[in-house]
Amino acid sequence: MATRGRSRDQETYDDSAIESSRRSNVKAKPRLSKRAKWWILASLLAIFTLSTLAGIPIGSKPNPSVAVTEPYMSIRNQMLKQDPEHVVPNNIYDASVVPANSTFYQLENLDQGNGQFDRSVSYLSPLSNSKLNAFGTSFASHFGWKIMTKTQKNGTDSYYLQKAGQDGNVWEMLFQISPPPANLTSLNSNISSVITERILITSFQ
């Protein structure tokens, strides 16, 4: 007995049924809510920001095992005279010192209220240049300043230091040891150097 062949309509129906069954077994992928997408984006941005900042030199860890070579005092009281709004964070003031036998000389407002904080304080010191250089490197290490560069020009030693502030900014100090003006040495022969500490916010740009 001859077997009847399937009609085209029957084959088309069977194919449609198979495709419909296949689709019904495929689970739809859940869509993320707007809130979930926002959190993912915020997390990625935070990771990117932290990884970027990790590449910026922001100082060293304080090393109390390194003794400061001279007794010292903070520059805070003098600097606050030109920092009434206390822009400089406490941990930067705590790490900004001069030898205890220094005599206050002058203040200088370099930013004049325009732009980022940039001001300095100077002291007169009876210590020799070699002792002040030893003081500079020792207090930088002790208090966690990173020495970026050290230069010497026309008898002036300049240390460029950097440290992260508690306010989230990166702060820089220019620690300078320079010869005193002739009019000062004529008045006081014990003066051997002028110490200047210039405090400013470092720009990332």
Give the Cβ contact number of residue 32 at 10 Å. Answer: 11
Please report which confidence band the pLDDT of residue 184 belongs to, taking 50, 70 and 90 as the band edges.
Answer: confident
Mean pLDDT, the chain, integer = 82
Which residues fall within 8 angstroms of residue 93, CB to CB, at 6 or more apart? 74, 75, 76, 79
- What does the pLDDT read at residue 106? 96
Please report which confidence band the pLDDT of residue 187 belongs to, taking 50, 70 and 90 as the band edges.
Answer: confident
β-strand partners of 200: 118, 172
Domain limits of the chain?
A: 72-201
Please spell the DSSP secondary structure of 119-145, one letter per residue: EEEEEEE-S-HHHHHHHHHHHHHHHT-
Fold adopted by 72-201: TATA-Binding Protein (3.30.310)
Q: Average pLDDT in the 31-60 region?
A: 52
- What does the pLDDT read at residue 15? 55
Which residues fall within 8 angstroms of residue 174, CB to CB, at 6 or more apart? 120, 158, 159, 160, 161, 196, 197, 198, 200
Q: Average pLDDT in the 100-126 region?
A: 95
- What does the pLDDT read at residue 204? 47
Full-model pTM: 0.70
